[in-house]
């Protein structure tokens, strides 16, 4: 039980050292991540549609 308590104390101590982003930074990072994920999803959807169409043309 002492090991768990010591571990949790160390976690709390380290969390106090963390440099948390400000609200403006967090908003900017969130927008960047969401737009990047959206772009990649649309890109792969277009590629998938193209490959599917190509395969259908070949198999007909």
pLDDT in tens, 7-60: 999 999 999 999 999 999 999 999 999 999 999 999 999 999 999 999 999 998
Catalogue the E-assigned strands of 1-60: none
pTM listed for this prediction: 0.66
- Would you give the distance in Å from CA 19 to the centre of its chain? 20
Alpha-carbon distances of 32 from 27, 38, 49, rounded to whole Å: 9, 10, 26
Q: How many residues does the chain have?
A: 60
The two structure tokens encoding residue 45: 């959807």
**Cβ partners under 8 Å of residue 29, min gap 6:** 21
């Amino acid at each position: 039980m002492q090991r768990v308590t010591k571990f949790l104390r160390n976690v709390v101590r380290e969390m106090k050292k963390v440099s948390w982003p400000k609200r403006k930074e967090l908003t900017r990072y969130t927008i960047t991540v969401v737009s990047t994920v959206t772009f990649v999803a649309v890109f792969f959807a277009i590629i998938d549609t193209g490959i599917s169409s190509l395969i259908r043309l070949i198999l007909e």
